Structure formats: C-alpha cells, structure tokens
C-alpha cells in the first residue's frame, strides 16, 4: 500500500516550495523593513510626531533607560545651573594678622565640616600685620537690593572682614546684618541693586530620592562649583561641631549625597525647578557623600524678619532640654517616651531654666516634661525649638506639662530673644 503522505504530486511540491521561499523572503524583508522603520521613527518620524502633535514619546538609550527622560533631566539640570548661578555668591574672609607660618593643611573639624578656618596657623609675633585671606564660604541672593543668606559659622568672626564676590567676579564689601541665635543661618548685606535672586521653595514637600543640585565655592577656590545628587534622608537631627568646642544643633536636617565640600557652606540646595529647598551647612568627615542642609522653610521666618524689622526676631522660652525617646525613657525610668525634659547643660553654669525668662515667669521647673504646645505633641519629629519658632514674641501659648508626676496646663508669654537675656 502506497504511503500518500510521502508521495506528493509535482504540483504539490511546487506549491510547498513557493510557500517556503515566500516565507523566508517575507521574514528577511520584514526584518529589514522593521529595522529601517525603527531608525526612521527614532531619527525622523518620532521627532515629527512629537513636534506635529505636541507629544512626548520615550526612546530607549544604550543602557536600557528611557533616553528622552535622561535628556529631560539633564536639560533641566543645565537650565537650573544657568539660571541660579548668577545669584550664588562667594564670601571671602580676611583678617588683619601677622604673617602665618603654617604646616600641612589641617581641617579643624572632627565629624561635621564647618569651613573656617581652613588651616591651623602658627603666628609669628614679630612679623608685621597684614590683611590675609583666612577662609571662605558661600551665600545666595534673596533680595534684589543685596540681602544674602548664608551660614552663621561663615560670618561668625566679629574681627574679620567679609567680601562678597559675584559670579561675574564683581566684589562688594559685606555687612553682617543678622545671625540666628538658634540656627546656623545669617544674613549679610551688600550695597547693590537689580541683583538676580533665587526663589525659595517648600522644603516640607521634598521626598527621599528626589534629585537636587548644590552650588558653592568649593574649597574657597572654585567658585560656583556644581554637584548633583539626591535627597538621602529627611528630618535628621545632627550636632555639628569643631575642635574648639563650638557646636550647632541642626533640627530636621536634609541629608543629601550631592557633594558638599569645605567652602560650600551657605550655598543653596536646589530642586529641578530651580527653587532653594535647603541651605548647605555640614558634611560628614567619616563617610562619603553624606552632607546636610538646613530646610529652607526654617530660614523663611528669619528672611521675613530681616526684611520687616532689619534684624532677626526670634521668640524665646528660656529652657535647656533633651528630647525624650524610648531609650531615654527606659534609661531614666520615665513614665512617657516623648516630650522635652527640662535639664541642666554640661557646664556648671548651664542651668535648666533661665532666670527671668518666660519659662521662669510661668513657673516651669527643672525635670518638668513639656508634652505638648498648643495641642501639638513634642517629640523627635517635632522638637521643642522648631515648635516654638512657629510663634512670635508676645504670643501666649498653652503648654501641657508633666510636673512631679501630674499633668498640668501652663500659659507662657513668649519674649524676643536677645544675647543680653543670657547675660543678666
């Protein structure tokens, strides 16, 4: 019996052969056509569609990432730098000193890097005195008539002179018009007009992973150096200090991996909209790419105060305290794991409640725990100093206080802070 599946007619063989050839030719030409259309769509058709129909269509780069997203972000970064740089200034610090004979450079900070002075000099008492550049920092213009925001530690030396250098090299003598008593912030003034300014953003809306740009006077030598990174953390509480014993507590600090170098202090941390979200202030000397900035919302009140009053007006309570958490509550056998415990400082003269302060007048005592301010809980995420800063001198505020095991309500009238209040 013949196998019909194996013995096909010549006509059938011709049809099968033709179909096979057609299939192969179709695959080859289809692949070529697809490749050609891919090139055309990327180089010609895609731009034409985007331009004609106002579309934004992603392409794919060689590393597998959407190339047009990359281009958009890079373009935004370039735009921000070009727009912001004219409003970012360098601050040069000079002093009348005898000639320095300095050994190898020695940065004076252990953990967080403040920027002045860069060197630990040996002074020759017999040498003639001359003006010398001893350090520097960064600032940015916040009003077109010459107000500049920077860090307090950049302009803290009352015996030094400060010069502001614009991005185009123009120099101005600078006057320190205000230093915040609680934050590492200061405002200086130059006599100029029609200056470019930076827009202040909203640091409450920042997110971890968000792209940010830092601009600053790196190493007090390279003006308007640009670095880019992301927000690595928010609401950090850090203590930045130098070997001389000075320190600053920064509440709700923004952590970033954008490189912040000595000389960058006081410079802006910008989002991709070109808005300032933080003021760069400190960097870890033990780790890599660990820098910190003061949230710009914390600075807005002092900016408004300088513009309105010509000085920084701060409300004052008059207590020293530590924020309670689980560990502190357990270690001290406390009945609550939140609040501000009123305690003495480390030095013998650092008493818990300042005499004649608003807290003293309201009857607050050492070891009292301030639990709430106007119904808002005091804890690590809402420190006492940050909550008090929301009010003005003269405001009457209601405190919930745990005193000797009993809760009570205390009304405090805030006063304006002045250096003399701690000296009386």
Q: Are 388 and 317 in contact (CB under 8 A)?
A: yes
In the set 220, 265, 305, 357, the catalytic residue is 265
Low-confidence ranges of the chain (pLDDT < 50): 1-6, 36, 39-43, 46, 49, 53, 55, 57, 61-63, 100-120, 243-244, 422-424
Structure tokens at 17: 């052969």
Q: What is the pLDDT of residue 91?
A: 93
Q: What one-character-per-residue DSSP string does 356-394 give? A: TSHHHHTT--TT-EEEEETTEEPBTTB-HHHHHTTS-TT
β-strand partners of 249: 239
Residue in the structure block whose two tokens are 């009993």: 406
In the set 90, 115, 180, 184, the catalytic residue is 184
pLDDT one-digit tens code per residue, 266-302 = 999 999 999 999 999 887 766 667 889 999 998 998 8
pLDDT one-digit tens code per residue, 232-264 = 988 887 776 554 455 667 778 899 988 887 788
Q: What one-character-per-residue DSSP string does 81-108 give? A: HHHHGGGEEEEEEEEEEEPEE--S----
CA quadruple 370, 373, 375, 380: dihedral sign: negative
> What is the homologous superfamily of the domain 315-422 according to CATH?
PDZ domain (2.30.42.10)
How many CB atoms sit inside 10 A of residue 120's CB?
Answer: 14
Q: Is 153 marked active-site?
A: yes
In the set 90, 115, 153, 298, the catalytic residue is 153
Q: Is 284 marked active-site?
A: no
Right CATH number for 68-310 from 3.50.50.60, 3.40.50.300, 2.40.10.120, 3.10.20.30? 2.40.10.120
Q: Is 180 marked active-site?
A: no
Structure tokens at 173: 């003598």
Q: What pTM does this model have?
A: 0.70
């Amino acid at each position: 019996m013949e196998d019909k599946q194996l013995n096909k007619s010549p006509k059938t063989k011709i049809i099968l052969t033709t179909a096979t050839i057609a299939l192969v030719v179709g695959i080859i030409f289809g692949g070529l056509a697809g490749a050609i259309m891919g090139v055309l769509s990327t180089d010609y058709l895609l731009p034409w569609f985007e331009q004609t129909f106002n579309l934004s269509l992603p392409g794919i780069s060689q590393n597998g990432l959407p190339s047009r997203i990359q281009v958009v972000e890079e373009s935004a970064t370039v735009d921000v730098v070009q727009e912001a740089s004219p409003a970012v200034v360098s601050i040069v610090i000079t002093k009348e000193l005898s000639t320095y004979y300095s050994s190898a450079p020695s940065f004076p900070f252990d953990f967080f890097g403040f920027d002045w002075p860069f060197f630990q000099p040996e002074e020759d008492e017999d040498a003639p005195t001359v003006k010398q550049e001893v350090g520097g920092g960064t600032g940015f213009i916040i009003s077109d008539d010459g107000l500049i925001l920077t860090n307090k530690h950049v302009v803290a030396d009352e015996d030094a002179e400060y010069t502001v250098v614009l991005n185009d090299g123009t120099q101005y003598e600078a006057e320190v018009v205000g230093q915040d008593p609680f934050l590492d912030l200061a405002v200086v003034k130059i006599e100029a007009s029609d200056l470019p300014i930076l827009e202040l953003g909203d640091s409450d809306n920042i997110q971890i992973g968000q792209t940010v740009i830092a601009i600053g006077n790196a190493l007090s030598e390279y003006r308007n150096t640009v670095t880019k990174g992301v927000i690595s953390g928010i609401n950090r509480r850090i203590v930045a200090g130098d070997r001389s014993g000075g320190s600053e507590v920064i509440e709700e600090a923004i952590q970033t991996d954008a490189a912040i170098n000595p000389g960058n202090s006081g410079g802006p941390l910008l989002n991709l909209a070109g808005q300032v979200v933080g003021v760069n202030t400190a960097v870890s000397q033990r780790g890599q790419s660990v820098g910190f900035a003061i949230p710009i919302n914390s600075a807005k009140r002092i900016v408004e105060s300088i513009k309105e009053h010509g000085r920084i007006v701060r409300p004052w309570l008059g207590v020293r305290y530590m924020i309670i958490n689980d560990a502190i509550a357990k270690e001290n056998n406390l009945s609550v794991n939140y609040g501000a415990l009123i305690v003495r400082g480390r030095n013998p003269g650092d008493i818990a409640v300042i005499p004649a302060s608003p807290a003293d007048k309201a009857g607050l005592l050492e070891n009292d725990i301030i639990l709430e301010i106007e119904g808002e809980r005091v804890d690590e995420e809402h420190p006492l100093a940050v909550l008090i800063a929301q009010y003005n001198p003269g405001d009457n505020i209601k405190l919930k206080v745990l005193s000797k095991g009993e809760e009570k309500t205390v009304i405090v009238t805030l006063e304006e802070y002045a250096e003399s209040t701690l000296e009386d």
